[in-house]
Every structure is written in structure tokens, then in C-alpha cells.
């Protein structure tokens, strides 16, 4: 049997080498990063997992919602603990079931479980607040929930007022 990564949003069984979920959520591609999801034997997956769109209804931040094709561009955040590199997209939040990088944000209680999403589409970078409790701010201006806002190299992104990061395009 093959090893797969089951998407925690739509339930799709992705091949072990996939970076983004290939499943569907309603009529849209799911597209969330599955790189941090555990590998499991396909035979061990219980019947509760399916490809039938079991996405959390409160999550509305797939990388495919921005127009154009998602790109595998390299970027990083300069965070209080150091650099956080990522390719194509990054889910920001404290919930390890929803955000593969959650261990980095776990001690920042003002960051929501699923707080924001950063992604690259059509050679442009975007940030989206996912309905967080304490808001997402770009260069001091609050980002409207569920709205893609363009990012540039050197922009300051606050995930709540107390967690500041600097967005950088390219490798560290």
C-alpha cells in the first residue's frame, strides 16, 4: 500500500510527494499546503476520510482563491525567533491540525488557531486574514478578513498587534 498525506480540510488522499492538496472543496480546488501533514499508510485510513469536501466551514483561505496559478516561489518571514522559510504558501496559526508550522506560533497567544495565509500567484505575493480574533496588519493597516492584499519584499506583517514579522521574497 502507498503512503499518503490526508488533507485535514477536504479529506483528499495526496501522494507523499505532493506539496499542495489536489482535492476539491465544493467547486474549487482545495490547494492547502500538505507538507506538514503526517504520512500514513493508505490501508490505515478510516472511512471518515474521503474526497467528499469535509473542509472546516470556518476555513476560507485556500491558496487557489487568488486569481491565477499558484507558484512555487521561495519566500521567508523574519520572525522573533529567526527565519521561517516557505515555498509557495504559508498558513499562520497555532493549531497544528490546520497549520503545519504551528509549533513556531504556539507560544503567541494573540495569534489565532488559523490566523492568516500567505501565498504566491501569478508572480505576486498576497496575505489574507482568515477571520482571526486579533487581526492581521500590513504595514500598520488592518487587512480585511477573507481579502487578498498584495505583499512586497520588506513589508511588515503583524499577526495580531503583538506578533511582528518582515516578509521577504527569495531565500534567506
The pLDDT tens digits of the residues spanning 92-145 come to 999 998 888 899 999 899 999 999 999 988 889 999 999 999 999 999 999 998
Residue 60 located in a structural domain: no
Helix (H, G, I), strand (E, B), or coil: what is residue 70?
Answer: strand
For the chain, what is the domain count?
A: 2
Domain end marker among 55, 75, 98:
55
Closest to 20 in 3D by CA, of 85, 67, 65, 87: 87
Note whether 157 and 92 are same-domain residues.
yes
Helix (H, G, I), strand (E, B), or coil: what is residue 46?
Answer: coil
Q: Is the pTM of this model over 0.85?
A: no
Residue 112 located in a structural domain: yes
Amino acid at each position: 500500500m502507498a503512503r499518503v498525506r490526508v488533507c485535514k480540510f477536504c479529506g483528499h488522499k495526496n501522494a507523499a510527494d505532493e506539496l499542495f492538496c489536489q482535492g476539491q472543496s465544493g467547486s474549487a480546488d482545495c490547494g492547502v499546503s500538505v507538507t506538514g501533514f503526517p504520512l500514513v499508510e493508505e490501508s490505515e485510513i478510516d472511512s471518515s476520510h474521503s474526497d467528499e469536501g469535509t473542509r472546516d466551514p470556518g476555513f476560507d483561505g485556500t491558496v487557489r482563491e487568488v486569481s491565477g496559478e499558484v507558484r512555487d516561489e521561495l519566500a521567508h518571514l523574519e520572525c522573533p525567533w529567526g527565519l521561517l522559510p516557505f515555498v509557495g504558501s504559508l498558513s499562520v496559526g497555532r493549531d497544528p491540525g490546520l497549520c503545519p508550522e504551528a509549533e513556531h506560533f504556539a507560544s503567541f497567544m494573540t495569534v489565532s488557531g488559523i490566523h492568516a495565509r500567505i501565498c504566491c500567484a501569478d508572480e505576486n505575493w498576497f496575505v489574507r486574514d482568515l477571520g482571526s480574533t486579533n487581526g492581521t496588519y500590513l504595514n500598520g493597516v488592518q487587512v480585511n478578513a477573507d481579502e487578498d492584499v498584495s505583499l512586497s519584499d520588506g513589508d511588515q506583517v503583524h499577526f495580531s498587534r503583538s506578533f511582528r514579522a518582515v516578509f521577504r521574497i527569495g531565500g534567506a
